[in-house]
Structure 1
Amino acid sequence: MKFLRQAINGVRSARSFSSSAVSRKDFIQDLYVKELKSYKAPPPAKDAHVGAVKQYTIPPAPKAPSLPSDVAAELNAYDASEPSKDAAPKAAATTTTETAGEGAETFLAFLEKDEPKAEAHH
């Protein structure tokens, strides 16, 4: 037990005696900071930007829109290019034979109708 106390006291005394970080100097850090402070960047060359920056040119002014000289011919050409109502596809207009010609009430009644029960297999 006595040996244990001496060992603990020895450790405590060793911990209390340490060198101060302030008294130790880091010569490498001091040299690095001194070199950083003394560094001067070289002056830029006069033509350093040549080749790295494109010359700016103003884009040409847009033209003002103009009316066509022959409006009637333009309208006729548009009417000719527009598809007629008779040529519309009829696939969208087809419906099933059950609901064709029936109203919404008949359709809702069809939906509310009970499903036929499946026959039980014995």
Structure 2
Amino acid sequence: MSSLTSRYLRRTLRSTLISRNFTASAPVKDSVQNLYIKILKSYTPTGEKTGSEVGQVKELILPTAPQPPTVDTSVSSELLSSYEAEDLPPPEVVLATESLEKRFIDNSTAHAY
């Protein structure tokens, strides 16, 4: 009896496993999309008249090239002569014996009190 029931179960399970069906709904027409495509296909742009841009676009005028700066030679010669005429004190002569360490020690003793 058990072989009979097992045989019956095998047949029913096998038939259910083999006969799986997937259903798909029929595609629905999109009326809005169809209308939009129909209007796009029937659209023809209007032709532009030549010269219609006159008065709507500003004319392009390039600026003039800038002039290079000029140097006044009389001013530069005056500055040079006044610089040469100036009396400058002679530069300090730093002796090899007077080092930075000595200056540092002198400054530290002056500020120690």
Task: Give the helix-richer structure, 1 or 2.
Answer: 2
TM-score, normalising length: structure 1: 0.38
